[in-house]
Amino acid sequence: MNEESSNEPQPQARHSTLVTRRFTIITHSPEETVSLGRELAKEVQPPCLVLLEGELGSGKTTLVKGIVASLASISEDEVTSPSFTLVHEFGAEGTVYHADLYRVEGAHDLATLGLDDVLGRDTTVLVEWGQKFGEYLQRPCVRIFCEHLGGDDRRITVERST
Ligand code: ADP
Ligand code: MG
């Protein structure tokens, strides 16, 4: 019963998040990067710390716009860089936080941001320049590396640790 013909090729196992631990995509416009962020949002299960690395202008905040807009059900225009305020909170349910540690100088500064408290909650926390504080920001579930390839091209590498 239900025997497959021996000549039929076996269906390939579908990609799953467990199989695809690391992938790289090149985007060619900010809009494409926002769309990628919206796709990535579907794969983020809180509690989740997402660390974003890459030089200024490499697209970290642009990618975050897509992720946050999707998770918090808001417009991507409402997601602005927290460069000066350092931590932004979005959404009522399924709250998501976005932090930018570029201007944070040391552990003492970091402690004043209240990130510890936020990281203890059942939320998604997106942190730009998180690698500056690797020893304090334990166990990211996703790391994202953004690279400026010139013009409007950005290479985005996503690495999951779960
Ligand atoms: P970061 O947060 O890494 O400093 P931003 O996302 O704030 O970077 O800025 C990226 C800049 O590059 C924006 O001005 C954006 O419009 C522009 N840009 C051009 N092409 C892309 C692309 N493919 N992906 C993301 N941003 C792009
Ligand atoms: Mg930024």
Q: pLDDT digit string (tens) for 96-112? A: 999 999 989 888 888 88
Q: What is the pLDDT of residue 94?
A: 58
Burial (Cβ within 10 Å: 0-12, 13-18, ≥19) of residue 130: buried
Residue 154 amino acid letter: R
Nearest CA to ligand 1 atom 20: 152
Q: What is the pLDDT of residue 147?
A: 98
pLDDT at 16: 46
Q: How far is the CA of 7 from the centre of ligand 2 (A)?
A: 53
Which ligand 1 atom is at minimum distance from the Cα of 152? 20
Contact yes or no for 143/159 (Cβ under 8 A): yes
Q: How far is the CA of 92 from the centre of ligand 2 (A)?
A: 23
78-101 per-residue burial string, b: 16 or more CB within 10 A, e: under 16: ebebbeeebbbebeeeebbbbbbb
Q: What is the pTM of this model?
A: 0.87
Q: What is the pLDDT along the chain (162 residues), one digit of tens a residue?
A: 444 444 554 444 444 444 558 999 999 999 999 999 999 999 888 999 999 999 999 999 999 999 999 999 999 999 998 877 788 999 876 589 999 999 898 888 888 888 888 888 889 999 999 888 888 887 788 999 999 999 999 999 999 986
Per domain, the residue ranges of the chain are 46-160
Residue with CA closest to ligand 1 atom 18: 30
Mean pLDDT of the chain: 86
Residue 148 near residue 57 (C-beta atoms within 8 A):
yes
Q: At 73, phi and psi to the nearest 5?
A: 50, 50
Taking domain 46-160, whether its CATH number is 3.40.50.300 is answered by yes
Query: Taking CB atoms and a 6 Å cutoff, what residues make up the pocket around ligand 1?
Result: 27-30, 32-33, 54, 56-62, 81, 128, 146, 152, 154
Least Cα distance to 82 among 63, 103, 66 occurs for 103
Tell me what pLDDT residue 27 has: 98
Task: Give the model's pLDDT for residue 7.
Answer: 52
Say how many Å lie between the CA of residue 83 and the centre of ligand 2: 7
